[in-house]
Amino acid sequence: MTKIYRINIPVLEANLDVYIGDKMDAKDKIIKKYNVSLDVDRIERALAYTTELASRTESIYIIILDKDIGLDMNTIYHEALHVTNWLLDFFGIIVETNNHEIQCYYQSYIAKRIIECVTKYNLTYGKKTSKSKKCKTITSGRINKDTSHKAKGEVSRHSRR
């Protein structure tokens, strides 16, 4: 089952939809809802998939997290940075080394909200964890170790703009 969580991003007034569950089911829901084409190959291979759907007046950000392989902290923060950079770019905010606090604040806010969504998903749909040490998943607000799932031949995360 794929669940969709809406995160409202304050001040810049943007929306982020986080799809957690089966990534191919999520892909189908996004295509149907927004009438867009997505890179199916990349979605199949990736731990997570992030995209921006932008028009002249608004931008919607979408993250797909596969319930079996994409719920670790590294993936969440990685995808949160993509959303942050696209969001700041959409609003014409230039991030440089002497002016990057806004980027840090938005990435932290977005990642924290995604973690809340993952925690809620795990509590609702009963994510089970094993005692293995290679991969971390979020369960009941804590980090637990889980290696029962691996990406098929893909170790890097992918995003699409």
Quick: pLDDT tens for 94-145: 999 888 999 999 999 999 999 999 999 988 886 554 433 333 333 333 333 3
SS3 20: strand
Helix axis angle, 101-125 to 73-90, nearest 10°: 130
pLDDT confidence of residue 159: 44
Q: What is the Cβ-side half-sphere exposure of residue 40, based on CA atoms within 13 angstroms?
A: 7
Distances (CA, A) of 80 to 7, 62, 134, 159: 12, 10, 22, 11
Question: Helices (H) and strands (E) in the chain — how many of each?
Answer: 4, 7
Query: Which of 9-13, 55-59, 110-114 reaches the highest mean pLDDT?
Result: 110-114
CA distance 145 to 107: 24
What's the whole-model pTM score? Answer: 0.76
